Structure 1
Amino acid sequence: MTFSALQDAIVSQRDVSEQLKARIASQKDIMADTSLRTLALASVPPAPALSMKRRAVLKTQRAKVASIAWAPDDVHLLSASQDGFLILWDTQTALKEQAVALRMGWVLTCAVSPAGDIVASGGLDNVCTIFDLKQKTNEVSVPVAHELHGHNAFVSDCLFRGEAEVLTSSGDGTCALWDVQSECMTQSFEGHIGDVMSISFSKQNPNLFVSGACDDLAMLWDTRTGRSEQTFTGHSRDVNAVCFFPDGQAFATGSDDASCRLYDLRARRELAAYGQLSTTSPVTSLDFTHSGRVLVVAYDDNRIHMWDTLRGERNFCNTDKRAGG
């Protein structure tokens, strides 16, 4: 087959693929006889009014805090700052319990293991670095326990799966699962055509995770097959944040297009969208409350919005737009 013929075949198959996707979307629309918001507005009372007040200020150096991660005890918090340190905080006292000096200051993400004594970081050095806090030599020094090399671009996000495995996402367009002790990549997940910015494991099924990327897509992956099981569209710009719903049957995304969207794995479609008429600021991060009734969203303009996930209504917006406010 000549190169020209190969190009024609690719174009032809792409057209067939687009036609199939359009038919699938049409069938989904036919089956969707109502919307989550319409149903909720008719039958679900509004969520109680929420408020937010500052509990404490955790002060690092003046450099940007790029990432935070809660420890399993919901008391300790890990921060990754571009002054070159990971810091473990006691949020009840607002005191630092441990500092970890990083070899490279351009950190982008951090994570805490389920037991709470192993932490990870990743950034512009393309490496996920693991530290065992039990091996600390003093209050500001913890030796590197493991380094996970294999990505060809920055490490944007990292998550522990148990104590022995770490999942990473990268600007090279892939996600990777690693065995910590051997420092080996056990699986690579390829399918995005842009930087992968965020990942989230299902708490109900740790074989499943979702990724969001700069190709405007979110993808559901199964580590047992190593493949993308579902692809979710709807955003018009980069997907910066993803988070599983507490029951593991749905997930939320946040995008540079200023919207958040709720997708259901069983329906294989979008259930709701939030915020697209309220702000033009990109979404930087998001998370659900324990019940899932409220989606808490941080935006690039330093505002925090809380959305009623059923009724689609904004329940709260902070008025202090100062960074860190």
Structure 2
Amino acid sequence: MKLAGLKTVSNAHGESIWAVTWAPATASRPAKLLSGSLDESVKIWSGDELEEEATNTGHSLGVVAVAAHPTVAIAASTSLDSFVRVFDVDTNVTVSTLESPPSEAWNMRFHPKGDMLAVAGGGSATVKLWDTTSWRTDVSLEVPKGEGTNTKSSEKAGGKFVLAVAWSRDGSRLACSTMDGTIAIFDVPRAKFLYNLEGHYMPVRSLVFSPTDSRILFSASDDKHIHMYDVDNKSLICAMSGHASWVLSIDVSPDGLAVATGSSDRTVRLWDLSMRSSVQTMTNHTDQVWGVAFRPTGSPGSRAGRLASVSDDKSISLYDFT
């Protein structure tokens, strides 16, 4: 497996870019790339050319996360203004605006079937589940302190501040990560907390389940490590290291054979999961890398894999993944 740089857009936004995702392809168009920035905007880009197609505005503070619906051409963005804005990717028209209390809207992900949007609740120590038909929040999953809390880290980092969320492939389980390094696992149909996964001792800012195995969860932490967990067995499969500083973002390839990570050491790394080690380091960016995202499969006319990365340097880089 290998990454090859295709294109970098400098000054893609007016400020740091903290979020990136792909809006899946439809029958009439390829996948589109979405980027969110501290300049308060979300931009929509053509997939391979990285040409700007539209800018979505409306947030009054910086955008911290973007998420795309798996089957419908809508996306959502969260901001430091504590609003979640839902918009149509093709028309750029606002669909809904969801309000949260201050500091209670961070990373988010749509359910694999698209019927719920999970939003990390920050200081509320919860994950809010929004119904994507009514755009009302019917369920709030509370992250308990638990016996396994990393006490020293909690005191320093603010305790159960929920940073990131991830759905299992079958949608039955939800993982959320916190500032103290623990990862909480929930049974979503029963709205029940199951247990914590431990091993990290600093904030875990990014999570992703394998697209090919609902048991496998990957995490990226400020402790410079990437963890691979077996959620069913509550066990750590392996810990991978190589970055020189915080690991801020992680995504897994559509075939489940590789992960990519972005770090405050200004690099993007590709990891071979069969070897459980880093096989390539990309140095396109000149500042910390806040987001990495593999393009979903099934894009009309696309013959190769793609990976995108975004950074505090205001740039977006696109790579060929083979």
Q: TM-score higher than 0.5 here?
A: yes
TM bin, normalised by shorter chain, reads 0.7 to 0.9
Residue 81 of structure 2: aligned partner: 83
AA aligned opposite 1:160: W
Q: 1:100 to 1:289 in 2, by over 3 A?
A: same
**2:293 paired residue number:** 287
- Cα offsets for 1:9-56 (capped at 9, x unmatched): xxxxxxxxxxxxxxxxxxxxxxxxxxx66xx99xxxx97995211111
Per the alignment, residue 73 of structure 1 pairs with: 71
Rounded Cα–Cα distance in structure 2 between residues aligned with 1:61 and 1:283: 22
Moved over 6 A (4+): 46-49
1:307 to 284, 295, 319: 319
Does 1:249 find its partner at 2:257?
yes
Taking a change above 3 Å as real, the CA distance of residues 47 and 149 of structure 1, as seen in their structure-2 partners, is: closer
Cα distance per residue 1:119-170 (max 9 Å; x no partner): 121123221111223345xxxxx24423323254211111222444211111
CA deviation after TM superposition for structure 1 residue 102, in Å: 1.4
Counterpart of 2:113? Answer: 115
Please state if 1:176 is matched with 2:174.
no
- In the other structure, the counterpart of 2:55 is 57
8 Å contact kept, 2:143–2:184: no
Task: Return the offset for 1:298.
Answer: 0.2
2:245 corresponds to: 237
1:134 maps to 133
Amino acid at match of 1:149: V
Q: Which has the larger radius of gyration?
A: 1
TM-score normalised by the chain length of structure 2: 0.75
State the percentage of identical aligned residues: 23
Higher strand share: 2
1:194 corresponds in structure 2 to 202
SS of 2:232's partner is coil
User: Is contact 1:88-1:96 (8 Å) kept?
Assistant: yes
- Give the match for residue 94 of structure 1: 92
SS for the counterpart of 1:55 is strand
Aligned partners of 2:213, 2:194: CA distance in 1, in Å?
19
Amino acid at match of 2:133: K
Q: State whether residues 200 and 211 of structure 1, in contact with CA within 8 Å, keep that contact through their aligned partners in structure 2.
A: yes
Identify which of structures 1 and 2 has the higher relative contact order when contacts are C-alpha pairs closer than 8 Å and 6+ apart. 2
Q: Deviations over 1:77-107 (max 9, x none)?
A: 0111222222221111111112222133442
Q: Are 2:81 and 2:102, in contact at CA under 8 Å, matched by a contact in 1?
A: no
Distance 2:256 2:171 in 1: 21
Kept in 1: contact 2:7–2:318 (CA 8 A): no
> Match of 1:107, SS?
coil
Length, aligned pairs only: 262
1:146 matched to 2:140? The reply is: yes
Distance 1:73 1:213 in 2: 30
Rounded Cα–Cα distance in structure 1 between residues aligned with 2:244 and 2:174: 30
1:167 maps onto 2:171 in alignment: no
CA contact (8 A) 2:175 2:185 kept: yes
Match of 2:43 in 1: none
More helix by share: 1
* Residues 1:127 and 1:54: Cα distance change in structure 2 (over 3 Å): same
* Alpha-carbon distance in structure 1 between the residues aligned to 2:267 and 2:171: 34
Tell me if the contact between 2:108 and 2:164 (Cα under 8 Å) persists in the aligned partners: yes
Distance 2:293 2:64 in 1: 17
| AA matched with 1:77 | A
The unaligned stretches of length 5 or more in structure 2 are 9-47, 146-158, 298-303
1:229 positional shift: 0.5
Q: Which amino acid aligns with 2:318?
A: M
Corresponding residue of 2:266: 258
